[in-house]
Amino acid sequence: SGSDDIFHFGCMYPGSQDGNFVPFGCPMDHVLSPVAWEREKLAYRDPIFLDQPQFRAAGAVRNLSLVERPGGAGASAPPGTLFLGSSTDEARAALAAVANVPVLRLPHARGLLCSVDDPDSFNAMAARVLSVPSWCAKCFQPCEQELAKWLPADEIKRGAQWGQSFCLPQRPLPKFQRGACSLNTLQR
C-alpha cells in the first residue's frame, strides 16, 4: 500500500502502533506471510500469547544466549547458550537441558545454524515461508530522515522508490548445502 503512513506510526499501520510485535518492530505480516506458514503447517505466534497466565510463571520463558564458538574441538555450550554456526545435532544437544521450558527466546537467528539435516527439503520449505511479502509505503518526510531510526542509509537508498516512497528490498536467503557450512547471514 503506497499511501499508508506506517512509518509515522512506528513502522505499523495506523491504529496498530500500540501492539506488541516480536521479533520485529513491525507486525509479522510486513516481513513474513502467516498464510504461507499456515499452509506449511508451521506454528507461529503473535507475541500476545506471552501475556497468557501460563507464560507469566517463573521459568516459563527463557532467554538464550548466542555466542561465538571457542577455539578447540569438542567444546560444549553451557545450558541456555547456543554456539553460532551450530549443526542441527549440536543445537539439539545444547537445547536438551532446557527442553522442558515452554518458550525459548533467541536474540536473533542470524548465523545460528551452519547445516541442517536435510538441506534440500529445508531450502524448499524456507523458500516458501521465508519470502517477504512485497510492500511499499509513502514517506511523509524524506525517506532518509523518516527511516533512519530503523534502517541504515544504504538499505534506505536500496528501497527508495518514486521520490517519497519506500519499498522493502527483496533479497533471496542463502541456501544450506550438504557437507558445507552455509551460515544464514545476509551479506550487505
Based on DSSP, count helices (H) and strands (E) in the chain, helices before strands.
Answer: 5, 9
Instruction: Name the pTM for this structure.
Output: 0.60
Residues in CB range of 33: below 8 A, 6 or more apart: 129, 131, 133
The pLDDT value recorded for residue 184 is 60
- How far apart CA 127 and CA 170 sit, in angstroms, is 12
Which helix (H) or strand (E) covers residue 94, if one does? Answer: helix 88-95
The pLDDT value recorded for residue 33 is 74
Specify the length of the chain in residues.
188
C-alpha cell belonging to residue 83:
554456539
The pLDDT value recorded for residue 147 is 84
- How far apart CA 3 and CA 87 sit, in angstroms, is 44
The pLDDT value recorded for residue 58 is 87
The phi and psi torsions of 65 (rounded to 5 degrees) equal -105, 145
At residue 10, what is the residue type? G
Stretches where the chain sits below pLDDT 70 are: 1-32, 46-47, 72-74, 132-133, 163, 184-188
